[in-house]
Amino acid sequence: MSTVEAPYDLDTGEPRPEPPVPRTPAVEAGLARLVTQFRRKPRIEAVLRSLLSGVQDVEDAIESLRNGRAIGHAVGAQLDGIGQIVGLRRGAMEDAEYRQRLAVQIRINLATGSGEDILEILALILGRTAGIEMIEAPPAELRIVVHRAVPHASGKAAAAALRQTKPAGVTAWLEWGGDPTRSFCFDGGPGLGFDAGEFADVEAG
């Protein structure tokens, strides 16, 4: 079974945050640059504080703009703008769902069709890579089996993403089901038999 850790938060679908870059306040940084003979001079420090407070306001505004347009922080019209860039309309989705779908679409846009790409994208939709098996069959067929319960809507979304991610010329199949203990099986298996067992969903990618 192939598994890979997605570079996204699997609970929210958002990119994993990068470590914050240490930022020294402008006033503090400016005062620290004073040569020795000008330090602890109240008037000089007062002039610098007055000038650098404006610089700090600009830095704060830039940081707010940068964070506000990041997918993990953007809301409303900002998310709509990201959607226009990546090619995904909001429709009737609320911010939380739209943000997650955008994260998936961005990963699809960056994908090259590799197995790692496919698993990462499925992990974004289905929640984790555990229980996802990738089976390659020559000459150009790929079968992906999800060995755990998956809501039908999530399975359909994963199949749609698979169609966008798989390499050209490759036939891909996604197989998923609900509760494994209620899945159809023959005598001796862990599931249920005729008239009681639930069949798995299978969709071409």
> What's the pLDDT tens digit per position in 98-124?
988 898 999 999 999 888 899 889 988
Residue 79: C-alpha distances to residues 7, 76, 104, 167 (Å): 20, 5, 14, 29
Residue 5 pLDDT class (50, 70, 90 cuts): very low
Which pLDDT belongs to residue 182?
A: 57
- Tell me the two tokens of residue 32: 């620290």
Which of 4-13, 19-28, 139-148 has the least mean pLDDT? 4-13
Which of 7-21, 34-48, 83-97, 162-176 has the least mean pLDDT? 7-21
Residue 201 pLDDT class (50, 70, 90 cuts): low
* pLDDT over 70 (residue 135): yes
Query: What is the C-alpha R_g of the chain?
Result: 26
The packing angle between helices 95-110 and 115-126, to 10°, is 170
Distance from C-alpha of 186 to C-alpha of 171, rounded to nearest angstrom: 28
* Residue 171 identity (one-letter amino acid): T
Strand partners, 135: 143
* pLDDT over 50 (residue 1): no
Q: What is the pTM of this model?
A: 0.58
The ranges assigned to domains in the chain are 27-68, 113-204
Dump pLDDT digits (tens) for 145-175.
Answer: 888 778 878 888 888 899 899 988 888 888 8
Place of tokens 């020559």: 138
Among 154, 128, 115, 118, smallest CA distance to 5 is for 128
> Around 28, how many Cα atoms within 13 Å sit in the side-chain half-sphere?
3
Which pLDDT belongs to residue 3?
A: 39
